[in-house]
Amino acid sequence: MPTGGELIVQCLKAQGADRIFCVPGESYLAVLDALADGAIETVVARHEGGASIMAEADGKMTGRPGICMVTRGPGVTNALAGVHIAQQDSTPMILFVGQVTRGERGRGGFQEVDYRRAFGDFVKWSDEIDDPARIPEIVSRAYHVAMSGRPGPVILALPEDMLRESADVAPGPRVEVAEPAPLPASVAAFGEMLAEAERPMVVAGGSRWTPEAAAELRAFSERWDLPVAVQFRRAQLFDQQHPNFAGDVGLGINPALKARLAESDLLILLGGRFSEIPSQGFTLLDIPAPKQRVVHVHPGPEELGRVYAPALPVNATPGAFLGAVRELNAPERAAWAGSAAAAHADFLGWTEELPETPGALAMDHVIRTMRHHLPPEAVVTNGAGNYAIWVNRFWRFRQFGTQLAPVSGSMGYGLPAAVAAKLRDPSRPVICLAGDGCFQMTMNEFGTAAQLGLGVVVLVCDNGMYGTIRMHQEREYPGRVSATGIVNPDYAAMASAYGAYAAEVPDNTAFTTLFPQALEAAAEGRPALLHLKLDPRVIAPGRLIEA
């Protein structure tokens, strides 16, 4: 009979899991022993926060739960960084945590945590497996919970002695969750509302998208000649070069796009929650009754009407909704004809003219060079910080599955996500952009990339400060700089110590030369790092501060 540790691995294999991310711990040695046969790849991170971010990024890419394993107490508290991202970003994820033996529970044992009580706000569900015979049942439920409705994270605690016991049970079947779809009456009502509209707009966001659903969105926008915007850090949902693309509804929104959304008479919120960032601090739409007619399509019924009372709530995944409305007849010439082209022209005007910036090395030159050398299938990752403004505004996401960035605004995300992306598809170039503060949150995972021979390219944007906080500080407390300066190491020397290709980049000319060389090294399976020395006065596109 299999032990509890062996059953955990067997159940993961039955669910199609091919990779787990972990930091090893004595509390789940029985699981690590079961993983030793290599049937599931075990990626050992340097920190539990890095491991959980890798798992979250993997869940974003596959649509099935990313799997992370950590030890109890400090292991799980370190891992909460990735769990919070999964919760905010609606990403399926399962975090397995070692636990004290069952006989020690409630006594304040070494590193003991009551997982059922402690992390309720972080996860969709948290449980502890007391009996190895229930492992197949509870793992199956965890997959259902993590993927159903609005996806999110699950935590399962594994008592150490339970993992050593045996049980005569077998793994359950592979979980495929229900895909909510619109009622025929909702489809008909949507068709009528669209036919009556004069200034409709689509805003795509959220999760539970597939490549097929993204293709359906493109076809839908073309049939009806609709402008399509994307929510914050969901740019991969629609080709930004497409003539119907209207822009990014997030931080630093194009004023023309913001006005277009405010003036729309039919706003189709497709897949996303339209939370604080896309709603511009909950100011773009009146609460609870928007003046625009709102069609809100979301796979989680609890999100419909949570903030806004939509004229038409539709409990459906994006793909199911787009498939259902495929047969609606578009007019030969709609009242809004030409609005998509106008919205795209506004987008190009906002993003093609990169502002001239001072300093020997400028982020506008970095982005232009990336656009020249990288193919459409390249994956671009980033964490949080003002450097990401240049990515969000000026990079061109062309294909589904090419963006990994935290809606939660979590620093340190880019490098662990890049590791997960390169493991998931080694054929794609993977570029991580990270600020100096952002990079130092998880830069130890560069060792993970080097150990695994992953050809990721990391661009460290060094301006010697926590730039976003400094920008807000200058606005709220001008001239009073406090706690935002950073003294940085020689990042290129650090990367070289791992055997990576590495160089300091002092100016535009050097970046033009060194970036292709970094790509060549990465193509050979060698991680690369370029240390970008940026002018600290350039705090955002077109905005300067005193250094």
Q: Is residue 178 part of a domain?
A: no
pTM: 0.95
Is residue 339 located within the same domain as residue 248? Answer: yes
Contact 43, 69 (CB under 8 A): no
CA distance 274 to 85: 17
Is residue 119 located within the same domain as residue 231? Answer: no
Is residue 231 located within the same domain as residue 152? Answer: no
Q: Is 194 left (phi over 0), alpha (psi -120 to 50) or beta?
A: alpha
The residue assigned the tokens 């301006």 is 463
Paired sense of beta strands 501-505 and 430-435, if any:
unpaired
- How far, rounded to the nearest angstrom, does the alpha carbon of residue 70 sit from its chain's CA centroid? 21
**CB < 8 Å & 24+ apart, contacts of 180-186:** 180/149, 180/299, 180/301, 180/315, 180/316, 180/317, 180/320, 181/316, 181/317, 181/320, 181/321, 181/323, 181/324, 182/297, 182/314, 182/315, 182/316, 182/320, 182/321, 182/324, 182/325, 186/312, 186/314
Backbone angles phi, psi at 42, to 5 degrees: -110, 115
Contact 138, 156 (CB under 8 A): yes
Contact 91, 102 (CB under 8 A): no
Domain boundary among 315, 346, 377: 346
H or E element at residue 312: strand 312-315
Q: Is residue 176 part of a domain?
A: no
Q: Is residue 171 part of a domain?
A: no
Q: Write the CB contacts of 231 (distance below 8 Å, at least 6 apart in sequence).
A: 203, 204, 205, 206, 248, 249, 250, 272, 274, 277, 278, 407
Is residue 327 located within the same domain as residue 403? Answer: no
Is residue 214 located within the same domain as residue 309? Answer: yes
Is residue 92 located within the same domain as residue 200? Answer: no
Q: Along the chain (547 residues), what's the average pLDDT of each consecutive run of 10 residues? A: 97 98 95 95 98 98 98 93 96 94 71 74 93 98 98 97 97 97 97 96 97 97 97 96 96 93 96 92 93 97 96 98 95 92 95 77 92 97 92 93 94 97 97 96 97 98 89 89 91 97 97 98 97 91 81
Contact 56, 93 (CB under 8 A): yes
Is residue 391 located within the same domain as residue 532? Answer: yes
**What's the pLDDT score for residue 266?**
97
Q: Is residue 285 part of a domain?
A: yes
Q: Is residue 60 part of a domain?
A: yes
Is residue 339 located within the same domain as residue 369? Answer: no
CA distance 136 to 158: 13
Is residue 121 located within the same domain as residue 70? Answer: yes
C-alpha to C-alpha distances, 419 to 310, 432, 463, 536, nearest whole angstrom = 40, 9, 24, 29
> Number of folded domains in the chain?
3
User: Residue 493's domain spans which residues?
Assistant: 354-544
CA distance 500 to 522: 9
Nearest to 440 by CA among 494, 480, 503: 494
Is residue 538 located within the same domain as residue 471? Answer: yes
HSE-CB for 276 with a 13 A CA cutoff = 6
Contact 395, 371 (CB under 8 A): yes
**What's the pLDDT score for residue 101?**
76
Count CB atoms within 10 A of the CB of residue 408: 19
Domain boundary among 132, 164, 196: 164
CATH number at residue 230: 3.40.50.1220
**What's the pLDDT score for residue 111?**
67
3-state helix, strand, coil in the chain (%, to 5): 40, 20, 40
Q: Could you write out the DSSP letters of every residue in 313-329? A: EEE--HHHHHHHTTTSP
C-alpha to C-alpha distances, 293 to 88, 289, 411, nearest whole angstrom = 26, 9, 36
Count CB atoms within 10 A of the CB of residue 356: 8
Domain boundary among 289, 312, 346: 346
Q: SS3 of 445, please?
A: helix
Q: Is residue 337 part of a domain?
A: yes
CA distance 383 to 13: 31
Q: SS3 of 30, please?
A: helix
Instruction: Decide: residue 414, CB within 10 A, 0-12 exposed, 13-18 middle, 19+ buried.
Output: buried
Q: How does DSSP classify residue 103? A: G
Rg (CA), the chain: 24
Count CB atoms within 10 A of the CB of residue 287: 11
Strand partners, 156: 96, 127
Is residue 10 located within the same domain as residue 150? Answer: yes
CA distance 170 to 132: 11
Cis-peptide, bond into residue 171, ω within 30° of zero: no
Q: Could you write out the DSSP letters of every residue in 343-377? A: HHHHHHHHHTSPPP--SSS-HHHHHHHHHHH--TT
CA distance 221 to 340: 9
Q: SS3 of 71, please?
A: coil
Q: Is residue 526 part of a domain?
A: yes
CATH number at residue 448: 3.40.50.970
**What's the pLDDT score for residue 546?**
82
Q: Is residue 479 part of a domain?
A: yes
Backbone angles phi, psi at 263, to 5 degrees: -90, -5
Is residue 156 located within the same domain as residue 216? Answer: no
